[in-house]
Structure 1
Amino acid sequence: MAATGVPNVLVLDIDGTTVTSQKCVDPDTKDALLQLQKQGIRLILASGRPPEGVYPIARQLRLQQFGGYIVAFNGSKVIEYKTKRCLYEQYLSKETLRSLWYDARCYGLGIMTYGKGKIITASEPDPYVRAESSWSHMPIVLHEDFLKHAPKTIYQCLLTGKPEQLQALNPLLSKLYLGKAEVFHSEPSCLEVTPCRVDKSLGLKKLFCHLDISPSQVVCCGDSYNDIGMLRYAGVGVAMANAPQAVKEFADYVTCRSNDERGIVEVVRRFFPAVLPA
């Protein structure tokens, strides 16, 4: 969708977009985003991470001071950061969770979800789950009886394994869970599962309705398959230089610089020139 006016909202994916490969916000990106908000541009963080995984980035970018928002769990939960008030949420059904646990065992995949301040998994943590624990600072709790120990409300599940195996299983599982859940790649070693018809674009629609924002006012930036919905929904969809080609095809603009090369600074300069002249 092409923007029809001057944008006044910036929506950012986190991993592969706002943070570097080392999972940190570089100083130039932080400065650009703080200047952006000082000029009255609203900043929204839209991530597959749980809220606890987004909060450290939100604190760095001072979303509390400037009135920013968080779309977590790939759209399953929308939060006003300053008050931590939930504006929208959607859960996976127990039946879907039971099927996911069965399929994970059947295909030899890892399965994990998020409890309050912890990662819950049903099998010995693989490298992806350990990495998730490391950057999020959330401990891993192993419960072989996954269903019994899973939280009552689950916003998202992750299936983990070897990239080639997940690539082959993605279309199969997407078809299997059609009408029950959304299954999509976010990173090579992970398939993310959200409630039916829930993705980042739905979370943004709910938030924009609450804030009376038109998509034409919005620039969205992302780098992976779980960002495609919001890239298509926004007035301007921006794919990072490090995004797969299949994601870039849905974007209105592709950055010249990657997330490790201050690609978001490029975005601010191009689409918000009054904030950061070229």
Structure 2
Amino acid sequence: MAATGVPNVLVLDIDGTTVTSQKCVDPDTKDALLQLQKQGIRLILASGRPPEGVYPIARQLRLQQFGGYIVAFNGSKVIEYKTKRCLYEQYLSKETLRSLWYDARCYGLGIMTYGKGKIITASEPDPYVRAESSWSHMPIVLHEDFLKHAPKTIYQCLLTGKPEQLQALNPLLSELYLGKAEVFHSEPSCLEVTPCRVDKSLGLKKLFCHLDISPSQVVCCGDSYNDIGMLRYAGVGVAMANAPQAVKEFADYVTCRSNDERGIVEVVRQFFPSVLPA
């Protein structure tokens, strides 16, 4: 979508976009985003992570001070960061969860979801689940009877396994769950599953309605397949240099620098020149 006027909202994916491959915010990126907010530009973090996984980044970027918002679980939950008030939420149905558990066992995949401050999995944690636990600071709880111990409200499930296996299964599962859930292959070792018709763009639509923001005022940045919806929805959709070509094709602008090369600093210079002159 073509932007009209000067953008006053920046929406950032986290992994592969805002943070480096080491899952940290580069000091120059942090400084640029703080300067951006000091000039009245609203910052929104839109991630596949659970809220607990977004909060440490939100604290570093001082979203509480500047009135920022979080779109978590790929759009399934929208939160005002300062108050932790939920503005919108959507859940997976129990029937869909049961089917996912069955399919995970059939295809030899791991399955995990999020409880209150913890990761719940049905099998011995694989490297992806252990990494998720490490950077989110959420302990892993193993329950072989996954359905019995899963929370009543589930915003998102992850299916984990070998990258080549998930790449092959992605189109099959997307077709199988058509009309029931959305399946995103956003990381090589996992498939993210959200409620039907829920993605980051839907979460943003709900938030923008609440804040009376037009998408033409917005710059969205992302690097993966779960970002395509919001790249298309925003006034300006920005794909990172490290994004797959299939994602870049939906962007209005592709950065020259990757997430490990301060690509977001480039975005601020390009679209918010009053903050960081070129």
How far the C-alpha of 1:213 sits from its partner, in A, is 0.2
How far the C-alpha of 1:244 sits from its partner, in A, is 0.5
Please list the CA deviations of residues 90-116 of structure 1 after superposition, one character each: whole Å capped at 9, or x if unmatched: 000000000000000000000000011
Please list the CA deviations of residues 233-261 of structure 1 after superposition, one character each: whole Å capped at 9, or x if unmatched: 00000000000010000000000000000
- The alignment's TM-score, normalised by the length of structure 2, stands at 1.00
Please list the CA deviations of residues 32-51 of structure 1 after superposition, one character each: whole Å capped at 9, or x if unmatched: 00000000000000000000
Q: Which residue matches 2:103?
A: 103
Q: Which residue matches 1:122?
A: 122
Q: Distance in 2 between matches of 1:122 and 1:161?
A: 13
Report SS of the residue matched to 1:17: helix
Please list the CA deviations of residues 145-181 of structure 1 after superposition, one character each: whole Å capped at 9, or x if unmatched: 0000000000000000001110110010001001000
Report SS of the residue matched to 1:106: helix
Please list the CA deviations of residues 14-63 of structure 1 after superposition, one character each: whole Å capped at 9, or x if unmatched: 00000000000010000000000000000000000000000000000000
Please list the CA deviations of residues 199-238 of structure 1 after superposition, one character each: whole Å capped at 9, or x if unmatched: 0000000000000000000000000000000000000000
Report SS of the residue matched to 1:194: strand
Q: Which residue matches 2:60?
A: 60
Q: Identity across aligned pairs (percent)?
A: 99
| Unmatched tracts of structure 1, length 5 or more | none
| Unmatched tracts of structure 2, length 5 or more | none
Alignment of 1:232-247 (within 5 A): 232-247=232-247
Which segments of structure 1 move beyond 2 Å, counting only runs of 4 or more? none
How far the C-alpha of 1:184 sits from its partner, in A, is 1.2
Q: Distance in 1 between matches of 2:19 and 2:183?
A: 24
Q: Distance in 2 between matches of 1:22 and 1:220?
A: 22
Report SS of the residue matched to 1:193: strand
Q: Distance in 1 between matches of 2:17 and 2:116?
A: 26
Q: Distance in 1 between matches of 2:83 and 2:69?
A: 10
Q: Which residue matches 1:47?
A: 47
Q: Distance in 2 between matches of 1:84 and 1:137?
A: 18
RMSD: 0.4
Report SS of the residue matched to 1:267: helix
How far the C-alpha of 1:66 sits from its partner, in A, is 0.2
- The alignment's TM-score, normalised by the length of structure 1, stands at 1.00
Q: Distance in 2 between matches of 1:18 and 1:183?
A: 23
Q: How many residues get paired?
A: 278
